[in-house]
Structure 1
Amino acid sequence: MAFLEVKNVEKVFKDEKRGTELKALDNINFSIMENEFVCLLGGSGCGKSTLLNMIAGFDKPTSGEILMNGKKIERMGADRGMVFQQPTLMPWLTVSKNISFHLKLKGANKKKQKEEAQKYIDMVGLTGFEKHYPHELSGGMNQRVGIARALLLNPSLILMDEPFAALDPFTKSDMQEELVRIWQEHKRTIIFVTHSVEEALILGTKIIVLSKRPGRVNKIIDLDMDRPRDTTSTIFNQHKREILGLIHENKDPEAGRPIHQVI
């Protein structure tokens, strides 16, 4: 049985004020096995983040269903951890306390909070910064805190919504390497949203390419390349050319426009 199944998912947003509907996703179908690193790839507005939010349980499909271990996802759950584009840290808490905050909410004692936070601080390479505050850290370091916070929840599935998009190229490259290392050493299933073809090819074991709005599964590409990925290799650039062709292929210019009038 697949770890995650997305079956016939459609998402329509209604604008009651204007009396219109916008179809964001149309007939999405795919499955993911446990411990895969899956990249959702497509241009702006294709519904990547919308789909991720439904897998997280923040939103629900208009039709279709999403199953995790055979059970329908209908709400948020501790079995899914989320890492956002901005790490959304609490500025008044230190690195250690940001990471362990949910343990505090659950009533864990201070020793337990500190010990568990330290384990994940070490894992993401922030040893020595336990008592620093978010404003004292770089963007990449703050994202490490966000990743550590998600890992501490011990979720079966980690959802990442363009977490490195705001980073400079050098920091982004470092963070990509760090994320792959964490994934290899501490097996988790990851779904990673990106609009960067190179990032998807560097990170993923599988790439799901979405079409322009309304988002549809254009192609699913399984990657069998050695790590670390050689961005100059023939196979890397063959995949890159193929994916760019899929993303930029001509579509009906009217597709996805909010032109359906609600009666």
Structure 2
Amino acid sequence: MQTQVGTHEITLAKARQQASTIFLAKVFNWMAAGLAVTGVIAYFVAQSGLVASLIASPIFFILVLAELGMVFYLSARIEKIQPGTATGLFVTYSALNGVTLSTIFLAYTHASIAATFLVTAGMFAAMAVFGLVTKRDLSGMGSFMFMGLIGLILASIVNIFLKSTAVYWAISAIGVLVFVGLTAYDVQKIKQIGEQGIMEQGEAAIRKGAIIGALALYLDFINLFLMLLRFFGGSRD
């Protein structure tokens, strides 16, 4: 009896691990797709020569507000909207973010942007692996990093008026730590969602779960990239 119970537990654990692996693959595939959409659109908008006009127009501010609205709506309504709607919102958000991020090509050289992207990818991958393999519960760290994120947002708003170089670099350094930590936390959380049976809830639940997971990792990657770009980006001036 003990042997049968033990075998059953091992089989169940393997099944959960396989389900988690499949779900993680879906999440990372959607994240990669979002980054690809953002990168391609950012590059072509920058090459079109419309970036300077975009920054000077109210359209840029409207696009930023639209992006924020999409993130909040997708996060709050993921349980109620259709999988196709969730997918469309994620892809649209990635595209709009590409338009707004095209502005970095005005400030930094192409070579430094590419180099920073590679550095970001390496750091992101390292923390993703850590989140996957660590036995430590990262939920406490996740809560701490989220509070740090709120602090960064408030400090950034205040520094718009202060225009302090020291505060700017402090925000950048702390921001790197915050998004590195959030990456590990989010990957572990997504892994746990895969282990808790989402693969048994049907295609709709899987798609929506993968989209919201991809959005979290996409935001971690993009924000980490932007923070690192402040340090490694070579000015075009």
Question: TM-score if structure 2 supplies the norm length?
Answer: 0.27
More helix by share: 2
Question: TM-score if structure 1 supplies the norm length?
Answer: 0.25
Q: Give the structure, 1 or 2, with the largest relative contact order (CA under 8 Å, sep 6 or more).
A: 2
